Amino acid sequence: MSEEKPQQSAEEPEPGEPKAKPSPEEPEPEPEREPEPGEPKAKPAPEKTSDYYRINEKLPVRFNNPGWFHGYGTKEAVSMYRTSNQAYGSRAPTVHEMPKVFYPSSNKFSKQHAAFGMFQSHNINVTLEKSLVTGPDNHITHYDRLNFHPSYNVNRPSICD
């Protein structure tokens, strides 16, 4: 007689029948045990903004989870050249600094520029500069050293008096 291994059925046992023992290939789940005093405790769940503040339901998920932001405080700068902005910017955001409301902007402006491009003026640049100091009818420039401003002309009276 040949010995055959019993095959496990894929069917689930009926509610009244005892469950079959797992095969030796499958490890049994370890029972939960209390951590010993020397072992580190499990980390608490990361804080969420919604745990402390009332947030808008349309708030993106990343703003509700400040622990998702990485890359803060990677390299320590020389203390002589360290600025207050570096000290503030090296800390990761907390739930108290995250936005509670999010107002997305529309992309109407970008769509228009993608379709038509930037505005281009095809006019010839022939306008004269008008000075607020010397008036609209005087078109002298600041490079004209002989006729800079009428009030500097000693032969005529000053118009600024």
Residue-wise pLDDT for 75-100, tens only, equals 676 777 777 777 777 778 888 888 88
**Does residue 3 register a pLDDT over 80?**
no
Range of lowest pLDDT (42-51, 66-75, 92-101)? 66-75
Residue 72 lies in a domain: yes
Residue 140 lies in a domain: no
In DSSP terms, 131 is beta-bridged to: 135
- CB-based contact 160:133 (threshold 8 Å): no
Residue 145 lies in a domain: no
Pairwise CA distance, residues 161 & 159, whole Å: 6
Residue 147 lies in a domain: no
Domain of residue 55, residue span: 49-89
**Does residue 159 register a pLDDT over 80?**
no
Residue 77 lies in a domain: yes
∠ CA 66-68-69, rounded to 5°: 80
Residue 79 lies in a domain: yes
Residue 59 lies in a domain: yes
Pairwise CA distance, residues 160 & 87, whole Å: 54
pLDDT at 147: 57
The torsion of the CA quartet 134, 136, 137, 143, rounded to 10 degrees, works out to 50
In terms of Cβ atoms closer than 10 Å to its own Cβ (0-12, 13-18, 19+), residue 131 is middle
Per the listing, tokens 């290939």 go with 25
Query: For the chain, how many structural domains are there in total?
Result: 1
In terms of pLDDT, which residue wins out, 66 or 125?
A: 66
pLDDT band with cut points at 50, 70 and 90 for residue 8: very low
Does the global pTM surpass 0.75?
no
pLDDT at 9: 47
Residue 70 lies in a domain: yes
Residue-wise pLDDT for 118-152, tens only, equals 877 777 776 666 666 666 555 555 555 665 565 55
Residue-wise pLDDT for 99-116, tens only, equals 888 888 888 888 888 888
- CB-based contact 78:36 (threshold 8 Å): no
